[in-house]
A and B are shown apart, each in its own frame.
Chain A
Amino acid sequence: MNAAQVEVLLQTLIAGVLLGGLYALIGLGMTLIMGVMKIINLAHGELMMVGMYIAYWMFSLFGIDPYVSVFIAGPLLFFLGILIQKYLINTVLRVDSILPENQVILTVGVGMILASAATIAFKSDYRSTPVKYGTSAFYLSDLWKGSPIELSLSIPWSVSFLFALAITAGLWFFLQRTDTGKSIRATAQDLDAALLMGVNVQRMRVVTFGLGSALVGAAGCLFIPIYYLYPALGGQFTLIAFVITILGGLGSNVGAILGGLILGLFESLTATYVGMGWAPVGRFVIFIAALLFLPGGVASLLRRRAFGK
């Protein structure tokens, strides 16, 4: 391998890790919701879009940096999630129906309403937040003059990545150490047992959905400095979130992060060495492979090791 090829490989790996970290955050919200409630939320990407619009308007109207908006969009999306869960999804789950999957259609409807409302309110214009550091990067050749290869590390991508890690760590702490967090995990692991132990399952569901929405809203804020925004953008991120959820294992935090990283790396490597048009195929191939060969996701591997099995 000559220097140029090494450069391409390293640059691809950097891109993959950064992308993976961001993917992980999108997946976290979904894995939480799916883990606790076993429902498929097809409005996930639309919730992210809402988060992005919040960040966008905060930036354009008040000049608030999108990274600061994480703390605004997160709570707002939390309440939006609570409303959706409490008044819509719980209502449907409570009723006995032939196929419990009819809640999916509900989320499709919610997604349509959100996307359409955004189109009416903000037109279908493409928007982005032109932050000053938008295209700045660290360059290897600036640090090491005689470097045989040139590598770059985008500043906003790195910041978003670190934010994603911090949020994930915060979530982990919440789930492991707080009472509410423990109740949520109990609900996810065994609904009946949780009920017996006196966990208010309804309440946990509401909180979980709120939390999941807040996470994806935060992900939206991290995405907007490096990406862009328009009302119909949700769908593709919903799909990515699914892939990560399955890859990582339902309800597993660590799994979502690893799943995100695997997906990011896999997509980047496919783009470089197979062809960028095939990258999405790669995405779904690992998705199906994970469903088949690793039904518990990456998390199940970790657990197996932990128990020494």
Chain B
Amino acid sequence: MKRSASGLMAASAFLLATAFGHAAEPFNLAIPLPLTGGQAKFGEMMKRSYEMAAEEINAKGGVKGRKIVLSFEDSQAKPDSARAIVEKLIDVKKQPLIVGEYTSACAKAVAAVANERKTPYLIVASADDSITQQNYKYVFRQNVPNAYYAQGLVSFLREKVQPKTMAILYESSDFGTSGAADMEKWAGKLGCKVLVKEKYEKGAVDFKPILSKVKQAAPDVLFMVSYVMDASLLMKQIKELRLDAKLYAGGAAGFALPEFVDNAKDAAEYVMTATLWTPQVKYKGAKEYADKYKAKYGDFPSYHGASAYSALHVVHDALSRAKSMKSEDITEALKKTKLQTAYGPVAFEDKDGYQNQCFSETFVLQVQAGEHETVWPYAYANKKFIYPFPRWRDRK
């Protein structure tokens, strides 16, 4: 009896709230992410970043006076789970737009559903080129596609290194395969011969066989596309084997995370990596975000976090400009986005066979004295690059 009475009270309170305080009704935004399994690390970083952004937006009055209330759904990096979540958000929760996901496989599943259901979907950190090449009208991507990840690195190679030969190691995933293929194309344009191109199964324990083969080939540049721990393991074992290349370069992802330096320690020194964003970058709000994140969670975020953080600001901007909370209007508003964010300027263009794609500068980081420093392009650099660097046997 007592329970039903309190239920009644709650219900009437809710009715009152909706009757009188329509403006105060929160805007619920559920975000699909991998929170368990091997990709959970990235999901977690993004979750924290979304939360930070939501806090800021709410402190400034929310979306059209409504507070943003975030919730997160664990897609476990499985496409059918991701799809189930998004079907639920669109159909049951009537959420007018979708933000989130991490792996390319999941983003593909979500993008297909979102486009079919005419609901805008903002991709935050999924790299696979093909996602924004499908003539999807409702799919927007804030990070550059994989083919552009290494753009900054390639310009550095062209101007400062002029390599004659290269070896490419990459993990056997969507991201690794397309990253390696793109680098091979770039190498062709640089007049650089690819001597070894090998993939490995993520989570491998021992890279020494393949590394001794690379050592024998003696390439100028060793380019690697790997997740965090594979990246540190690779560098550790490169050090053990004293494999001397003129340049070790990583294709974003693992190499750009602070964990890479934490785990590879001195083996990480001088390693360069492509990245989409750095904590030192001179975009307005970038430093504040990075510092706040570090203060709260102990480490600097990588571009994954910055992109997630800014994506929510992009969403806020689009929702504020949209004529209504309907998907069509939000899509229209997103298309017209021109926003300076901590992640950089965001605008969605149709260019080079991509649709609704945001193109932004990419950077080169170098590990110097155990810190990731931005060294390229010049305009953004906070430290001068070190090149060439000492051979392993000459290092202390």
Contact = CB atoms under 8 A, between A and B. Distances in A.
Contacts of A126: 41, 228-229, 259, 263
Chain A interface, >50% SS class:
helix
Given A4-B216, A228-B263, A124 B41 contact: yes
Nearest to A141: B393
Interface stretch (B16-24, B80-88, B205-213, B314-322): B205-213
B200 interface: yes
Contact of B213 (A139, A272, A280): A272
Interface string A9-32: 001101110110010000000000
A165 to B, nearest CB: 18
Contacts of A4: 216
A137 B210 contact: no
Nearest to B212: A11
Given A126-B263, A277-B200, A277-B201, A272 B232 contact: no
Interface string B235-254: 01101111000000000000
Contacts of A7: 212, 216
A15 B206 contact: yes
A134 B265 contact: yes
B40 A232 contact: yes
A19 B210 CA distance: 14
Contacts of B207: 276
Which 8 interchain pairs have the tightest Cβ spacing?
A: A124-B40, A271-B209, A11-B212, A15-B208, A272-B209, A276-B200, A277-B199, A228-B229
Contacts of A272: 209-210, 212-213
Interface string A269-309: 10110011101100000000000000000000000000000
A128 B229 contact: yes
Interface string B243-280: 00000000000000001001101110000000000000
A197 B74 CA distance: 54
A150 B210 CA distance: 16
B93 to A, nearest CB: 26
B38 interface: yes
Nearest to A3: B216
A128 B41 contact: no
A154 B240 contact: yes
B214 to A, nearest CB: 10
Interface in A245-274: 267-269, 271-272
B35 to A, nearest CB: 8
21 contacts: A11-B212, A11-B241, A12-B209, A16-B209, A19-B206, A124-B36, A126-B228, A126-B263, A130-B265, A135-B236, A135-B240, A152-B240, A227-B205, A228-B232, A228-B263, A232-B37, A236-B203, A271-B209, A271-B210, A277-B201, A279-B201
Nearest to B76: A232
